[in-house]
Amino acid sequence: MSHIFPRHTKSDLPTAARGEGVYLYDTDRKQYFDGSGGAAVSCLGHGDADVTAAIKSQLETLAFAHTSFFTSASAEALADKLIANAPEGLDRVYLVSGGSEAMEAALKLARQYCIEIGQPERHRIIARRQSYHGNTLGALATGGNMWRREPFAPMMIETTHIAPCYAYRGQATGETAFDYGQRVANELEQEILRLGPETVMAFVAEPVVGATAGAVPPVDGYFKRIREICDQYGVLLILDEVMCGMGRTGTFFACEQDGVAPDITAIAKGLGAGYQPIGAMLCSAEIYRAIEDGSGFFQHGHTYIGHPVAAAAALAVITKLTDGGLAKRAQVMGAKLQSALEDAFGQHPHIGDIRGRGLFRGLEIVEDRETKRPFAADRSIHKVLKRETFAAGLICYPMGGTIDGRNGDHILLAPPFILTDAH
């Protein structure tokens, strides 16, 4: 009898034994094609020798030194490399152990910044429906996945949700994509005015929506308008690139393609590429300076922040993504994946939309292509898809979500960037 507390207590999972390239193998030697990189984690695939060597070398010299006593060479080098490749204005890196932690750090830093600059009444967060920002209480409250939030609702911090930028569902007949983007972005302004601009701390969004909607990119101009509104009302823009960052969409940060820079951003998943648990929160020089010139202390922290081995692994990963050109490869292979998916499923009666950026692609499953009507929730289409694809040796990421109150199903694909034409 197992003593592991699994995610799903009623399922009987195979034991993973080995990973190599784009494949995982279980203890019965069954091969699985990792078509979703786990959950958009394994950007380099499995068994990367360079990352393994970097981890070994770091372990042999220094495994751990508490960050209240020391900094470390690997954490410093990783921060330098991240900032050298980050959107303009981002200047400081706070290293944590995963995506939810990065989002918690982002929310708490935003709040502390408001206090330090003498605006303590700013505490409200505006986020979007069809979003996921993590499973810890602050990140969960920020996310718009109602099913995940529901049991913990009485414990939630105050967040309100506006419409996502989801053209397949939201763009009206006769409306251009650009006008649609401006219309939904303007919901942010209306919400800020409704809440009282002096009380709003931050707007939080994923540049390309991952798990709750299936790789939904924004339309042109949407984030530029969001940035304008945030600047007008002194609201911080927090972009959650935990899933879509680190080259996944074909640029190192997804927001580069929208021509905007956030005040704070969160990354994880592809940063450690599965080799180490690591995430990071990046903030602007202005925010950092407010803390530095004010209290001098970010009232946050976990034992494992800035872990030297995790940092060494992440440095090796992102060196391959940037200098090694793998993020660009995600762009090239992503375009090929999109056209292959369109060839295979473009006319499928139950595929309503095929979309995404880079190697971050989503297929929306519908009962009726014409009306875009989703399958009823009790059909649990995403569960059937997960079971059948896994049995056939494909790891992909089917999810059910709510589309403005209704059920919807999609499949997320996020394969390793080492994918070849043959794959």
| Exposure on the CB side of residue 260, measured as CA atoms within 13 A | 26
For position 132 contacting ligand PLP by CB under 6 A, the verdict is yes
CA dist 269 to 100, 248, 275, Å? Answer: 10, 10, 10
For position 188 contacting ligand PLP by CB under 6 A, the verdict is no
Which residues in 61-90 contact ligand PLP (CB under 6 A)? none
- CB-wise, 36 or 375, nearer to ligand PLP? 36
Any idea how long the chain is? 423
Question: DSSP assignment of 223-283, as one string?
Answer: HHHHHHHHHHHT-EEEEE-TTTTTTTTSSSSGGGGGT---SEEEE-GGGTTTTS--EEEEE
> Quick one: which of 58, 72, 100, 159 contacts ligand PLP (CB under 6 A)?
100
For position 133 contacting ligand PLP by CB under 6 A, the verdict is yes
Retrieve residue 307's tokens: 């872990």
Question: Closest approach of Cβ 37 to ligand PLP, in Å?
Answer: 12
For position 164 contacting ligand PLP by CB under 6 A, the verdict is no
Burial of 420 (0-12, 13-18, 19+ CB in 10 A): exposed
For position 103 contacting ligand PLP by CB under 6 A, the verdict is yes
Retrieve residue 59's tokens: 């372990």
Tell which residue, 311, 297, 279, 282, has the closest CA to residue 101. 279
- CB-wise, 291 or 310, nearer to ligand PLP? 310
> Quick one: which of 138, 144, 181, 210 contacts ligand PLP (CB under 6 A)?
210
How many positions of this chain bind ligand PLP (CB under 6 A)? 15
> Quick one: which of 219, 268, 280, 354 contacts ligand PLP (CB under 6 A)?
268
Question: Closest approach of Cβ 38 to ligand PLP, in Å?
Answer: 10
Residue with tokens 């922290």: 301
Binding range to ligand PLP, per CB under 6 A, among 6-14, 50-58, 204-212, 229-237: 204-212
Question: DSSP assignment of 181-238, as one string?
Answer: HHHHHHHHHHHHHHH-GGGEEEEEE-SSB-TTTSSBPPPTTHHHHHHHHHHHHT-EEE
Burial of 76 (0-12, 13-18, 19+ CB in 10 A): middle
Retrieve residue 22's tokens: 């784009």
Binding range to ligand PLP, per CB under 6 A, among 9-17, 68-76, 99-107, 307-315: 99-107
For position 273 contacting ligand PLP by CB under 6 A, the verdict is no
Question: Closest approach of Cβ 164 to ligand PLP, in Å?
Answer: 12
CA distance 261 to 90: 8
- CB-wise, 86 or 290, nearer to ligand PLP? 86
- CB-wise, 192 or 244, nearer to ligand PLP? 244
| Exposure on the CB side of residue 67, measured as CA atoms within 13 A | 19
For position 98 contacting ligand PLP by CB under 6 A, the verdict is yes
CA dist 105 to 298, 300, 368, Å? Answer: 9, 7, 42
Question: Closest approach of Cβ 88 to ligand PLP, in Å?
Answer: 22
Question: Closest approach of Cβ 41 to ligand PLP, in Å?
Answer: 8
Cβ neighbours around 185 below 10 Å, total: 23
For position 398 contacting ligand PLP by CB under 6 A, the verdict is no
> Quick one: which of 19, 25, 38, 39 contacts ligand PLP (CB under 6 A)?
39
> Quick one: which of 35, 37, 87, 99 contacts ligand PLP (CB under 6 A)?
99
- CB-wise, 216 or 327, nearer to ligand PLP? 216
CA distance 396 to 388: 11
In the bound state, the residue with its beta carbon closest to ligand PLP is: 99
Which residues in 356-375 contact ligand PLP (CB under 6 A)? none
144 within 8 A of 128, measured Cβ to Cβ: yes
- CB-wise, 111 or 133, nearer to ligand PLP? 133
For position 240 contacting ligand PLP by CB under 6 A, the verdict is yes
For position 265 contacting ligand PLP by CB under 6 A, the verdict is no
Rounded (5°) CA angle 121-279-47 = 170
For position 211 contacting ligand PLP by CB under 6 A, the verdict is yes
- CB-wise, 100 or 251, nearer to ligand PLP? 100
- CB-wise, 399 or 418, nearer to ligand PLP? 399
Residues within the interface to ligand PLP (CB under 6 A)? 39, 98-100, 103, 132-134, 206, 210-211, 240, 242-243, 268
